[in-house]
Structure 1
Amino acid sequence: MSKHAGDVAVGVSKAYGVETMFTLSGGHVFPLYDGAVHEDMRILDVRHEQSAVFAAEATARLTRKPGLAVLTAGPGITNGVSGVATAHFNGSPVVILGGRAPQSRWGSGALQEMDHPPLLDPITKLAFTGSGADSIGQDVEMAFRTALAPHRGPVFLDFYMDHLFAPSPSVETETLAPSPLEPDTDHLAAIAALIAEAERPMLVVGSDVWMDRAEEAARDFAEEFRLPVVPNGQGRGILPSGHELLVTRARGLAFSQADLVIVAGTPLDFRLNYGWFGGKEGAPLARVVHLADAPSQLATHTGLSGSAAGDLSLVFWGLAAACRTANVKPRDEWTTKLAEAAKAAIADDAELLAADSDPIHPMRIYGELNRQLADDAVVIGDGGDFVSYAGKYVEPKRPGHWLDPGPYGCLGTGLGYSIAARLARPSSQVVLLLGDGAAGFSLMDVDTLVRHKLPVVMICGNNGMWGLEKHPMQMLYGYDVAADLQPQCRYDQVVTALGGGGELVTKPSEIGPALKRAFESGVPYMVNIATDPEIAYPRSTTGV
């Protein structure tokens, strides 16, 4: 059987480890579907293109292999733009293959004729159009190689429709991993000297530590030199819940009193106060060291006392060797102070985590959930105030088991992420935490979960408003507008109407039994919990 271009494109994708094509049906990309059938690749179709891209992105973040989304021309691609932007900000290796009106009709007003790459260029590592049927194999190879090279990120490639249908030669695909970037040893020695001088050093581990497969190197480094650790993004779980060096619950104290903050694998963005630490109660600002997987990721907007770029395992191993040479000693008094503060914060919260207040305090939900989460559960956050509590009170026991939208903060990621998590972790609990605002973006893709038999437990914190906006507007202006939603809206009935299960919870005593029913149901199931609208999450950049 002679191969058409769709066969070749899918064959190259499979060679790079892609197992699932996420898509929403469109005629411009039929040859890619035909190729998936010929190549025995799973096709998972969704109800909105954003969910296809979010699912591909989450696949990349959970498996550390490239994700693949296939989008039809015009609105299919524009509908996926928020997903591509999210992948861009998260450094997720996603390849988006798009359809395009036929070249033979280009310029004459064909259906959904649009030049997509200029739209995608600012939010991708590369956005381009395949040059012809004969080169499609090489073009797809270039897309995957580029997406996987440090610093990782999304690549967009579209094809003229007539090129996709045309015969195309097979290619021999070489999927060699990029050569690891060696960090500068002088830079590592200078950082080790800073650690040796510091009295109150600490380490922040971010998503790129996980994506660079450096979680063991990072943990070994922290444990050898007894550095207190605060995780960020997918850095969560690198030190498991209960680890003595994990001081998430003393984050505010750590950031305000540290004299050296080592930030690894995450930007110095708003989540980390743009790299400004210390400076409280007359103390000087902390020195800041930035470790990144590529030079392009090192902060340029703030002064750094040290930096190193390279494969993050090599960075941590090299830094550990340099610290031994510099005779770095643990700061036990500082480490103990933060550990005790973290324990005290946990003890202080015990009452609210078990509160019987009516209306329900959001913290009570997390008190109940933590009792039912397995060690290998995948927890996904999609929301504002309600999900912020998860970042504080849900501490994963393993790396690679937490997903949130990342610094772009795009709502609506949850259903796509859930689809990917159920495929990537078929034997684990998959829990999606939704604010009621976020629920409105993508609940129709519960239909996708049902059709493809992908059970997920959805927990909706339903306070009947856009909490991130309502409370601040009231503080600023004394009133609010465009911030109210329907109180106790029956999102659970949307799930049941689409073939899943669900229930509304209005009493604290009902939360635990409802969660148990959800985990035991074996279907997509929503526990829709009415929470107190007067409770606002206490938001602070470094004190969370």
Structure 2
Amino acid sequence: MSAAAPALKTASAPATVNDTATGARLLVSSLERMGVEVVFGYPGGAIMPIYDALTGTGLKHILVRHEQGAAFAADAYARASGKVGVCMATSGPGATNLITGIANAMMDSVPMVCITGNVPQGVMGTDAFQEIDILGVTLPIVKHSILVRDASEIPAAVEQAFHIAASGRPGPVLVDLPKDVQFATATAPFGFNIPNETAEVDHDAVAEAERFIRAAQRPLIYIGGGVKIGRATEAVRAFAEATGIPTVSTLNALGTIPTDAPGFLGMLGMHGTRAANEAVQASDLLIVLGARFDDRATGKLAEFAPHARVVHFDIDASEIGKLRETHVAVRGELKPGVEALTVRLAAAPLAIDPWVIRCATAAVHHAARYDAPGEGVYAPALLKQLSEAAGDRFVAACDVGQHQMWAAQHCRFSKPEAHITSGGLGAMGFGLPAGLGAKLADPSATVVTIAGDGGFMMNIQELATLKRYGVALKIVLLDNASLGLVRQWQELFFEENYSEVDLSDNPDFVKVAEAFGVEAFRIDRRDQVEAGIARLLAADGPCLAHVIINPKENVWPLVPPGKSNAEMMEGA
């Protein structure tokens, strides 16, 4: 996954702090100068000077109830807004509680700046109270780390952190501030020397890509999350429309092409649609845009798209040819490269009508059905109905599990920002704080957290954050009293040995939500769904719909582990 840099708010010329200030105040001033509006965090001893400096500033600090919630919320804020997300925590356990969220941002290429306090430099290395080498701990899961040793370095360090987080292939950057640096005073210049990294389009490679596409009989556009991050959504939509080439999407790219658009075949991979996977396997050319051939997308790599040559557009050169031989590599920012290719291909139509008809016919033939028997709630139908009722303002912040796959398969997404999920890391507990971050990023959106009972319990404390700040997040909690996806695999591949997946002792989630001051209600029959969706969407503040579903319901289709995408299992 890859992308160009999201736009940053920076001054046109370096400025200087008028008066001598503490490191903590320099940090806050630097954040304001970078255009930061919202910070997610949790205070503690080693970051207390920064919290002292926050008072009376223009920054809106959101006090989460666990540092993991801060990182997840900042991640989703970045995905929804296109800005750099910011979170902060104290040393020791505060910093280590950020780690899963940092890894999540790294895996999904999300621009994020994580600020941690640390013990004074004079006691570093002595096993001081709440001391942890957070730079060392996070080295494999950050794009860059900065340990600030002098207060005068803070403005440049912050500007550098934001630039690195957002440029090229985005990712998280850690800024670690010892407590003595926060207390120290300095007069510090602003103005990190940001290099000019604008890359020219490789027109020779684009011309070669055109040649391969015109020679293909069964071309397919394979869209990855880098398209959204690189702000190339409109360019890719124009390319697909101009050429008529069918499209498939990874999990993190859903909505790049509206999911109900002609020619879109759905998500590919382990829980992809049969139409998408069959098209990939039959294609003779993959036009890969900002995707990284993730194993959940490819299945058995040696048998993935066996007849296809590859044209790969990516800003991260390390992804090109990493897992699959690339026949044409177009390196650089996606938007200008795709636009240049569109201009060339628009000169004469492609002769691929039989392939287009074949893919469209397969999409109709393999379309999902929603007429499941019984009176219980059928989750795919509920999620489809919910997304359609919410319309183009719908944004799903998904946790991880069966509900995540059902949302990906059945929800209508009109834009890539409408689908926020933990893709590469698959971190349970993401949904609730992610919904918080997404709603704060775009208050006018209808943001719905879609969670399962397992993941919801992992960060349930953030209900208090919703209530405190009056964040009108809607929550659909699909409760099958089990770790559903693990249970499904145990059923299919472990001889029904249901080891440690029983969650039948869950609390009454309606009462729990109400105890936090959040409106809640329960749905357990299909005839309650329409009214339940209407109530959820009409609620003025945060609201939770506790939806009871069949614990034996599985996600279909499914590509078994180690198998080709051609070997899809179907349920009854």
Using the size of structure 1 for normalisation, the TM-score is: 0.93
1:37-52 correspondence runs (5 A) = 37-52=55-70
Query: Do the aligned residues in 2 keep the contact of 1:53 with 1:69 (CA within 8 Å)?
Result: yes
CA distance in 2, matches of 1:341, 1:488: 41
CA distance in 2, matches of 1:32, 1:323: 54
Equivalent residue in structure 1 for 2:281, among 256, 263, 266: 256
Partner of 1:400, secondary structure, is helix
CA distance in 2, matches of 1:118, 1:107: 12
Query: Do the aligned residues in 1 keep the contact of 2:384 with 2:411 (CA within 8 Å)?
Result: no
Which residue is equivalent to 2:320? 298
1:75-474 correspondence runs (5 A) = 75-173=93-191, 179-248=197-266, 249=273, 250-273=275-298, 276=301, 284-323=306-345, 329-346=350-367, 349-352=369-372, 357-474=374-491
Query: Do the aligned residues in 1 keep the contact of 2:311 with 2:327 (CA within 8 Å)?
Result: yes
Query: Do the aligned residues in 1 keep the contact of 2:390 with 2:537 (CA within 8 Å)?
Result: no
RMSD: 2.3
Query: Do the aligned residues in 2 keep the contact of 1:383 with 1:437 (CA within 8 Å)?
Result: no
Which residue is equivalent to 2:82? 64
Query: Do the aligned residues in 2 keep the contact of 1:462 with 1:488 (CA within 8 Å)?
Result: no
Residue 46 (structure 1) shift = 0.2
Q: Which moved more, 1:289-298 or 1:39-48?
A: 289-298
* 1:35 counterpart = 2:53: yes
Cα deviation, 1:439-472, whole Å, max 9, x if unaligned, reads 1111110100110110111111111111221222
Cα deviation, 1:240-287, whole Å, max 9, x if unaligned, reads 24321222152122122111111211211113216959778xxx5322
Q: Structure 1 pair 108/471, CA: closer, same or farther in 2 (3 Å)?
A: closer
Which residue is equivalent to 1:477? 494
Query: Do the aligned residues in 2 keep the contact of 1:225 with 1:328 (CA within 8 Å)?
Result: yes
Q: Structure 1 pair 336/64, CA: closer, same or farther in 2 (3 Å)?
A: same
Partner of 1:460, secondary structure, is strand
Q: Percent identity?
A: 26
1:236 is matched by which residue type in structure 2?
A: L
CA distance in 2, matches of 1:193, 1:236: 28
Residue 34 (structure 1) shift = 3.3
CA distance in 2, matches of 1:175, 1:216: 31
CA distance in 1, matches of 2:71, 2:494: 38
Cα deviation, 1:195-230, whole Å, max 9, x if unaligned, reads 111111111222211111111111111111111112
Q: Structure 1 pair 29/413, CA: closer, same or farther in 2 (3 Å)?
A: same
CA distance in 1, matches of 2:193, 2:438: 25
CA distance in 1, matches of 2:492, 2:252: 33
Q: Which moved more, 1:329-338 or 1:452-461?
A: 329-338
CA distance in 1, matches of 2:500, 2:381: 28
Q: Which moved more, 1:9-18 or 1:434-443?
A: 9-18
Partner of 2:371, secondary structure, is helix
* 1:502 counterpart = 2:527: no
CA distance in 2, matches of 1:337, 1:16: 50
Query: Do the aligned residues in 1 keep the contact of 2:111 with 2:171 (CA within 8 Å)?
Result: yes
CA distance in 2, matches of 1:180, 1:62: 24
Structure 2 residue runs of 5 or longer lacking an equivalent are 1-18, 267-272
CA distance in 2, matches of 1:487, 1:375: 37
CA distance in 1, matches of 2:545, 2:193: 44
Which residue is equivalent to 2:10? none
Residue 530 (structure 1) shift = 1.1
CA distance in 2, matches of 1:328, 1:91: 35
Q: Structure 1 pair 227/215, CA: closer, same or farther in 2 (3 Å)?
A: same
* 1:521 counterpart = 2:559: no
Partner of 1:191, secondary structure, is helix
1:217 is matched by which residue type in structure 2?
A: A
Matched length: 536
CA distance in 1, matches of 2:193, 2:443: 26
Partner of 1:432, secondary structure, is strand
Equivalent residue in structure 1 for 2:549, among 508, 514, 531: 531
Residue 542 (structure 1) shift = 4.5
Residue 187 (structure 1) shift = 2.1
CA distance in 2, matches of 1:44, 1:243: 38
2:286 is matched by which residue type in structure 1?
A: V
Q: Structure 1 pair 345/489, CA: closer, same or farther in 2 (3 Å)?
A: farther
Cα deviation, 1:147-186, whole Å, max 9, x if unaligned, reads 1221111111101101111113243346968533234222
CA distance in 1, matches of 2:370, 2:34: 47
Partner of 1:98, secondary structure, is strand
Query: Do the aligned residues in 2 keep the contact of 1:255 with 1:277 (CA within 8 Å)?
Result: no
Query: Do the aligned residues in 2 keep the contact of 1:260 with 1:286 (CA within 8 Å)?
Result: yes
Partner of 1:349, secondary structure, is coil
CA distance in 1, matches of 2:511, 2:191: 48
CA distance in 2, matches of 1:501, 1:21: 26
CA distance in 1, matches of 2:351, 2:244: 5
CA distance in 2, matches of 1:487, 1:512: 28
Structure 1 residue runs of 5 or longer lacking an equivalent are none
Residue 79 (structure 1) shift = 0.6
Q: Which moved more, 1:175-184 or 1:236-245?
A: 175-184
Using the size of structure 2 for normalisation, the TM-score is: 0.88
Q: Which moved more, 1:20-29 or 1:469-478?
A: 469-478
CA distance in 2, matches of 1:417, 1:230: 25
CA distance in 2, matches of 1:113, 1:488: 36
2:282 is matched by which residue type in structure 1?
A: Q
Query: Do the aligned residues in 1 keep the contact of 2:299 with 2:565 (CA within 8 Å)?
Result: no
